[in-house]
Structures are given as C-alpha cells and as structure tokens.
Amino acid sequence: MATGSGPLAGVRVVELAAQGPAPFACMLLGDLGAEVVSVERPDAPRYPADAHARGRHSIAVNLKEPDGRALVLALTERADVLIEGFRPGVAERLGLGPEICLARNPRLVYGRMTGWGQDGPLHSGAGHDINYLALSGALAAIGEQAGPLVPPLNLVADYGAGGMLLALGVAAALLERKASGEGQVVDAAMIDGLTLMLAPFHAMAARGLWRERGTNLLDGGAPFYRTYRTSEGGWIAVGAIEPQFYAEFLRVLGLDPSELGPQQDKAAWPAAAQRIAEIVATRTREEWTRLFDGVDACVQPVLELTEAVHHPHLIARGMSTDATDTPQPRPAPRFSRTPLPTPGPAQKRGAATDELLQELGLTDEEITKLRVTGVVA
C-alpha cells in the first residue's frame, strides 16, 4: 500500500482503534507521512470526534475471534509500530500484548496510551480528561477565584498530555531503533504528561510564588492577561505581559498608566481589571479588533470555531483543508525538504479489509470464509 511523503514515509503503524488520544496520536503520525492501518471492530460506533480518523486504511476485525487476533499478529509482523489505547491488561488478555507482539517482531515499537499508566494504585480505574486534570493539580489552577472550575474541553490531558506525548515517544523510539535495531514499549500516560506540563507551576508553588486560583499572572488574575467582555457580548483576549505591550494596550484604551498603579503591583490588579473592563465594555469586539489591528499589544478577538477557520491569518497559512466535508486542519509542523501530504478523508469501516488480507497472502476463498464466519467485515 502507498505511503505518504512526509518524514515518516515508509513507516507502517497498526492501530487497535479506540477513542481519544491514541487515535489522535495515530493521526499525527499519519500526517507526518506514516501509513496507518486501523483495526476496527466491525460493530463499533463512530462519533463526531472520529474526524481525526483521517488518512488511514481501515480493516474491520473481530478481536474476540482467535482467527481475528491471528490476523492482527500477522499485520504487526509487517509493521514498524503498534498502538493500543486499552485499559492495562486488556491487550494481554486478547493475546496482543507487547511480549507476544515483540516476540513476533523484535523491531516493533509498541505504543501504549492510558490515563493512569500501566501501574500504580489507579492504573486499572476508569477516567476522562477532567479526572486526570483534577488529580494532577491542573484543574485547581484553572478558573476564576470564586466559581466553578471549567474544564478546557479535553484538549489538555487527552490530546496535549496524551496523544502528543505518545506520538513523540513513538518517534523517539523509531529514531533509537536505527542505532539498536530493536523495538521497545512506549508507555504514555496522560497523568505523566500533565505532570510534565505543570513543571514550571510546581516550581512556582514550591517557592511560594503561586497563590490561590485566579490571582496569579497566567490564570486571569493579572489585568493584562485575561479576557474582557465587549459591548455586544463578545470577548477580547489580552496577553500584554511585557511592559512595552502593556503600554500599547493602555494607549489604545486611552488610559493613563498612573490611574492603574504599577503593572506588577498585585494589590492593584483587581481595581485595574475593573477599570479596563469598563472601558472594553463600551465598544464591540469588531471595533476593538480594528483599533488593535497592527498594534503590538497582544490583543486578539475571541473567535468561535466557525469564525476561526475563516480568519485571514489561518487562511493565509493554509490551515484548513477541503479534503473532506468536515473542516480539517492541515498537518503540522512544516518541513522544508519532506513536505507533509494532504490527508485523505476517513475510510468507511473495513474499506481496506480485502486489500490488506490479500497483502498477507490470503486467497479470495479464505477471505470469503473469514467474512462468513464473522472474523472480518
């Protein structure tokens, strides 16, 4: 089967299809040029979030059947990477754990994606993005001083601390394999990734530099790093941390800095934020956008998802592809010598089943028998 043209061209990834960060990691690897073969359950539902199933070859296999598991093992023998996102122990019970797969293919990079990790008191427990945020300390640091903690979608733990970490680990293991000739297991856990991402905040807390939520530099406590509501109900986002940007921000607002007190005086922050909010509320989001256009004040409008894809900067960067009927971001980062291919739409479940089975050497009669017995679909 054809591979992509990116830096991972020639790498084959077998994905035991799941939900959330593991498929996201596979999307990233596929965007980088790897050929991804997704092993899907014949009866598994698909959800809107499965938009990141793009660029894959889909084979529908019943893993409850011994013949189905044998087919997956045969696929892994020809693969560079296998990725699974089951709870700890599930892959082993299916006979598809790392010990068996690496015995069949010692060069295999076996990627595992979990929330809590493969060990520890919580390793077998259920969880979602919000739970990992909560236990890591990240959720307690997000939100206003008083009021509910609003989870930042499932971008942080699932995709940032999970899927991206797994993709990085797999890429690193592939690089190491060039020297050792051996594969290995990559254990990526969302709780681990979150702890890594929180490193600077743990350091600040240990030094007494992090106060209660909603009163700090980056959590909305600072009047120059937060959002403000505009007259028609829209919002603008302000990130004027550096003094020169803060000066420009106040200049456009028509505020004398002496009215607000020193920029870094935390005691003055609440009153300064209130005064700025009063002024921002006198104009619409679009009016403020025009006033700050071309001004180095780190001020941008807060756009809805449907607006963002039409913003001139994202259009100029070519960040949206029309390869499907669903808005899709173009692959990133960008490479000068091995440009990334435009991913194709997600295949229908099992669309590549016959092609992949034929590649394994099965005859038409054998494939028909597997269909009749419910091993493949």
Neighbours of 257 (CB within 10 A): 14
Specify whether 158 is catalytic: yes
108 Cβ neighbours under 8 A, 6+ residues apart: 76, 79, 80, 81, 82, 101, 102, 183
pLDDT tens readout for residues 295-327: 999 999 999 998 998 899 998 998 877 655 677
Give me the pLDDT at residue 219, please.
92
Phi, psi of 174 (to 5 degrees): -65, -40
Radius of gyration of the chain (CA): 25
Q: What percent of the chain has pLDDT over 90?
A: 80
What's the topology of domain 225-302? formyl-coa transferase, domain 3 (3.30.1540)
Residue labelled with tokens 């660029």: 55
Mean pLDDT of 360-366: 94
Give me the pLDDT at residue 318, please.
86
Average pLDDT, the chain: 93
**Active-site residue (options: 67, 128, 311, 354):** 128
**Active-site residue (options: 158, 187, 192, 219):** 158
DSSP symbol at 263:
T
**Confidence band, pLDDT 50/70/90 cuts, at residue 14:** very high
The domains of the chain are located at 12-197+324-372, 225-302
Rounded distance between C-alpha atoms, residue 187 and residue 169, angstroms = 8
Beta bridge partners of 185: 110
**Confidence band, pLDDT 50/70/90 cuts, at residue 280:** very high
**CATH of the domain spanning 12-197+324-372:** 3.40.50.10540
Given CA atoms 218, 220, 222, 226 in this order, what sign does their dihedral have? positive
Quote the pTM value: 0.92
Residue labelled with tokens 């992090």: 210
Mean pLDDT of 354-372: 94
CA 290 to each of CA 236, 283, 285: distance values in angstroms, whole numbers, following the listed order: 12, 11, 9
DSSP symbol at 334:
-
> Is pLDDT of 151 > 90?
no
Neighbours of 268 (CB within 10 A): 14
pLDDT tens readout for residues 39-61: 999 988 776 667 788 889 999 99
